[in-house]
Amino acid sequence: MRYPVSSYDFSMNNLIKQLDKGFDKVTTKTCTGIIAKIRKVEDVFWSDDIRFDAEEVA
């Protein structure tokens, strides 16, 4: 079901309420999972960067 935009509350007070609710759901497991995904992406990035640098020199 779609709601009209006029029914949304984009106020700063509502944002703070929503953030408080969201932060209550963040756990150690959540953070560990996010960090693991970031490390995986960064590992690929740095591996590719090293490979590209080696190809440039060759």
Complete DSSP assignment for 1-58: ----GGG----HHHHHHHHHHHHHT--HHHHHHHHHHHHHHHHHHHHHHHHHHHHHH-
pLDDT of residue 28: 96
Predicted model pTM: 0.56
11-53: pLDDT as tens digits: 999 999 999 999 999 999 999 999 999 999 999 999 999 999 9
